[in-house]
Amino acid sequence: MTSKLGLVTDFPWDEGAATGVGSHPGEDGLSALKTVFDEVPVPYLPELPGRGVGADMIGRTASLLVDLPVEVQPSGWRFSDRPGRDFKRARDHLLRDLDMLEEVSQGYTGALKIQVCGPWTLAGAVELRHGDKTLADKGAVRDLIDSLADGLAAHVADVRKRVPGAGLIVQVDEPGLPGVLAGTVPTASGFGRLAAVEEQPAADGLRRVLAVTPFPIVHCCAPRVPFSLFGTAGARGISLDASLLRRADEDRIGETVEAGIALLLGVLPGVDSRLPEPAAVAHPARELWRRLGFRPEELARQVLLTPSCGLAGASPAYAKAALVRCREAARVLREDPEAE
């Protein structure tokens, strides 16, 4: 398939696809895995932060870093001389999840998504040994980016070996990047703000990480999604909360679509709420596509539906129901893209 500008847009999913963002409630990883493989066309490796320290987004990704050991201090994750017990806990959680993924996915062929925290969100969260955030030190940021890229490359290779039939998608979570660009990330003390990072260096750092992945998408469920930066960095898809979009964003969204980049639109709350009918869930995507002036028949190929963010704060029953409703709404996009 080609985009409106004639660009090739080969995506590893079929038309009318849906997926989730990443996190799930509870502590039962096997049940969560079975749910996503049963209920959505694009399954993924769930994250279960409810298991405690080491299962959180920061700790899980920090366990992938190469030659940058971390530990947990009262203020949070911090680089250290040697890995702390919470690093080992994070690594053990991930390895168990990968073992379960290998078990559940036996014989699976199709798109499969994994998630990691992005370098800029990580740099704004992990502290240096002396207490400042990594983001405060440009050299430390470079080391973090290189370490994450190397660790992610090894992680991707491991997942490919475990699930050889999968078309692997890597979601890089950057909810903190808008704050990094705006200079609103607090210092470790909380009394100041770290200097803003310019867009080009931010794109260069993210590109270094995305380059080691087979099909990279970037997730940002914060306002002011930096669409052009993600495109410059090499993202093949952008995942966002549709409820946070403004009319002022639509020119940048149109440019994103014309560049052949997929949109993963979050259309349902990540916490328990009443679920609308599938047509109502699909409506924001159809209405956005109509306003942008793209051909209706391209909608279900280039847009995936998801919950608006992770499902860790939901009940297990709602998490499953939300994924089912996203799948049903995505089918509406495929079968009836022009409905009002």
Average pLDDT by stretches of 10, the chain with 340 residues: 51 97 96 97 97 95 96 92 92 97 97 98 95 94 98 98 97 97 91 95 98 98 94 98 92 95 97 96 95 93 96 97 98 84
* Cβ count near 249 (within 10 Å): 17
d(Cα 37, Cα 268) in Å, to the nearest integer?
19
Handedness of CA 177, 181, 183, 188 (dihedral sign): positive
Whole-number pLDDT of residue 8: 43
Whole-number pLDDT of residue 339: 67
Whole-number pLDDT of residue 190: 83
Whole-number pLDDT of residue 21: 97
Instruction: Return the ∠ at Cα 175 (arms to 170 and 180), rounded to 5°.
Output: 120
Q: Which residues pair with 44 in a beta bridge?
A: 113
Helix (H, G, I), strand (E, B) or coil at 5: coil
- CA-CA distances (angstroms) from residue 17 to 6, 29, 131, 302? 22, 23, 44, 9
pTM across the whole model: 0.95
Whole-number pLDDT of residue 340: 61
- What residues contact 222, with CB distance under 8 A and at least 6 apart? 175, 176, 177, 178, 179, 244
